[in-house]
Chains A and B, each alone.
Chain A
Amino acid sequence: MSDIADGQDHQLDPRVIRLRQVTGSILLVGIAVWSLAGLLIGMLMGDSLSGAARIGLLLLWAVLTGLGAWHAFRWPARTYSRTFYRVDEQGIEIRRGVYWRVVINVPKSRVQHIDVTQGPIERRFALGTLVVHTAGTDHANVALDGLEHGRALAIRKHLLPSGAGDAV
C-alpha cells in the first residue's frame, strides 16, 4: 500500500547519534557543574578534611565526569546500531536494547491514538518522536525516537485507522 509499510527492518535516522550525544552532553554538563559546585562549597565550609582527601575527592569527580563523557559520547552509537523498526500492514515492530533486548510488537488494530512530538534540539536535526498509545498496561505507550520527522508523520498516517473496513 504505502511505501512506509514495506515490511523491511529499518534503522533510525543516523542523525540520532549526534542528537543523543548533544542531549547527553547537556545533561552531563549540568550534573558535572552542580556536583562540582556542591563539592567546592562543601570543602570551603568544612575544614576537617585533609589536603589529600580534598585532592582525592576532586580526582574522583574528574574520573566520574570523564566516564560520563565517554559514555555520553559512545553509547548513542551502540544503541543506534541495536535499534530497528519495521512497519507493515500488520502494525509496527520495534527491536532495541544493547544488553537487555526487547522486541515490541504493536498490531495496527490496537492503536488507540498517536502523538508525534518534537523538542527544540530534535527540531535542529529535523527529527521527531513517535508515541503509539494502546489500551495495554505495561505498554500503554510505545515511543520511538530518532525518526526523521516526515517519516514519523508518515508512519502515524499508516498506523491510524484509514477507513471503515479497517476496524475489523
Chain B
Amino acid sequence: MPSEQRLHPATLVFDLARHARNFALPAVLLIFGISGFGGGPGGMFGGIPEGWEGWLLVLFVPAAAVSVFRYLTFRLRYDEREFVIRWGLLFRHERHIPYARIQNVDAVQNVFHRLFSVVEVRVETGGGEEEEARLSVLPRAAFDEIRSRVFSSRHAHVEQPAHAVPPAHPEPPVLSAQPELLHLDLRDLLLFGFIQNKGMVVIGAAFGAGWESGLLDRLVGRYFADDSLGRGFFRDLFRAIFGDGPLPVAPLWMALAGIAAFLVVVRIVSMGWALMRFYDFRLTRVDEDLRTEYGLITRVSAMVPIRRVQTINIRTGLLHRWLDRASVRVETAGGAGGGSAAHAREWLAPLIRVEALPRLLQQVLPGFDYGAVAWQSVHPRAFRRAMKPVLVVLTVLTSLLATASGWVALAVLVVLLPWLTLSTRKYVQHLGWVEGEEVVLMKSGWIWRQVTVARINKIQVVSMHQSPFDRRAAMARVKVDTARAGEFSHRIDIPYLDQRVAQQLADRLSTAAANTAFRW
C-alpha cells in the first residue's frame, strides 16, 4: 500500500486563526455592547461582563479541539487510480476520488500561506456543490504531486476514450455551413414581450425606485389628491352591493377603465422590456457550440456548448398556442475548470414558430425528430387517483371553515370543487412521456404547458417512488435526475404510471444510462 501523507503542521495555525477570526466579530460586538450600553452592572448584557471571556472559550475550545483532531487524523494517499483521504476519530470517513473524475485542482496561496510556503488545495469532481476535498494546508510540493498525478492519469484514462469516440461530431463542416438558426425581428420581440408579460416586474422596480427617491409622493399628491376614487367610492360600492343605496355608476366605470388601462400599460411596458433585453436576438451555431447574442443597451453573448446541454425545456402558454409559438430554454452543467459557475439556464429561442421547433432541436440532438414524437399518456385511472388527495384536503378545509364561519363555508366548496376537478382532469390529461433512443421526454401542464427533453447520456440517477396511495392504485412515479438542475425548473418526473410500466421504464432508462459514458 502506498504510504500515507499528513497535512502540513501549519494547518493547526491556519485553522486556529480561522476560528479566532470567526469569533472575533461576536467578541467585538459583545465588548461594544457592554461599553456602549453598559453604564454599570445593569447594562444591556447585565449578567455577562463578569465572565464573557469564559463564554467565548466555551465556544472556542470545542472548535479548536475539532481542528486538532482533524489534523491529527487526516491522511491522504495516492492509490493507483484514486486519490484517498481519510479523517475522523469517532466518526471515521474515508473518501475515494478516482483521478479520472477529478475536474479541477485549485490552489490558493495568500500572504500567510506564503510565509509558511504552503498552499490550500481544492480538489473538485462533478458531484455536489462543495469541493470534494479541501486540503488546508499542504506543502507546495504536494500540490504539484496531486496535479501531476491527476493530469497524467487523465491523459492515460480519459483522453483515450475521447479520441476513440469521434462520432460526437460527425460532420462539422456541414453543420457550420448553416450559421444563423434563429433571428428575432421587431415583430417577434414585441410579441414575445406581450406574451411574457414582464410588465409588472418592470413597473414594480420603477415603483420601488420612485418610492426611494420621493418622486412618488409628489406624483400621488398631484393626481390622487381629490377623493374621486378614495374611500368614499368603496363605501358606496359596498352599500350598493348589499342593496342599500344607489350604485356609484360613474366612479365604477372610471375604476374599471383604470384597471383596463393599467393592464394595457403593463403589457406595453413588457413589450418595451423585451425590446431592450432581447433586441436583435440571434442564435448561431459555431462548430460544437450554440451562440446567442441579444440586447439593445447591454449586448449579451452567451455560449451554449452542445455537449453540456443536460435538458431542453419547451414552454407554451395560451397566447403561444394561439399564435403557434413556443419558448425554448436549455440547462447546461459542468465543464472542466469551472466547478462553481457550472450551472446555467439559457434561452435558446425566446419565441419560435412551432413548425421550426424540430429543426432547432436537431441542432442539439441530431437524429431526434420532435415532430414525430408519439406521446404516451399516464394510467387511465390517474384522474381518480389524483382527485383523492384534492377531495381530502378540500373536505378538511371546508369543515375547518364551517366551524369558524358556519354555512358560508359551503360556498367555498361550491366554487372550488368544480374548478379543482376541472384543473385536475386537465392536468392529468396533459401529462405525457416518451422514451426515445437517446432521449426521454415528459410534458405536463394545462394552461402553461412544459416539455422537458433529457438526454439519456446525461441521466445521473433514475428513481421510482411509490406512496401508500400509489400502491393502493398500483401506480408509481419515475424521476430522472440530471446534473445541477435548477431549483424550480421543470424536470422529468412522471407521476401516475402503471406500476409495471414504471418499473420497466426505470429499468430501461438506468440500463441505457449505464451503457453510455457521462462526459461533462
Contacts and interface: CB of A to CB of B under 8 A. Distances in A.
Interface of A: 90-91, 93, 97, 99-120, 123, 133-142, 156, 160-164, 167-168
Given A105-B462, A113-B101, A163-B157, 18 more contacts: A90-B511, A90-B514, A100-B468, A102-B463, A104-B462, A105-B461, A105-B506, A105-B510, A107-B510, A108-B514, A109-B516, A111-B101, A113-B96, A113-B125, A115-B94, A117-B94, A133-B132, A139-B461
A110 B460 contact: yes
A167 B94 contact: no
B164 interface: yes
A109 B518 contact: yes
Interface string B440-468: 00000000000000000001111111111
A114 to B, nearest CB: 5
22 contacts: A90-B510, A91-B514, A99-B468, A101-B466, A102-B465, A110-B518, A112-B132, A113-B98, A113-B101, A115-B94, A116-B93, A135-B125, A135-B460, A139-B463, A160-B96, A160-B98, A161-B81, A164-B157, A164-B161, A167-B158, A167-B161, A168-B517
Interface residues of B, number: 56
Most-contacted residue by chain A among B82, B93, B132, B460 (CB, 10 A): B460
Contacts of A116: 93-94
A118 B482 CA distance: 29
Contacts of A93: 510
Interface stretch (B84-92, B220-228, B245-253): B84-92
A48 B20 CA distance: 47
Nearest to A95: B464
Contacts, number: 158
B126 interface: yes
B101 A110 contact: no
Most-contacted residue by chain A among B81, B466, B514 (CB, 10 A): B514
Contacts of A103: 463-465, 506
B290 interface: no
Contacts of A163: 81, 157
Contacts of B514: 90-91, 107-110
B333 interface: yes
Nearest to A119: B91
Contacts of B326: none
A115 B93 contact: yes
B15 interface: no
Nearest to A108: B514
Cβ-closest 7 pairs across A and B: A136-B460, A107-B514, A112-B127, A135-B126, A133-B127, A136-B481, A105-B510
B471 interface: yes
A104 B461 CA distance: 7
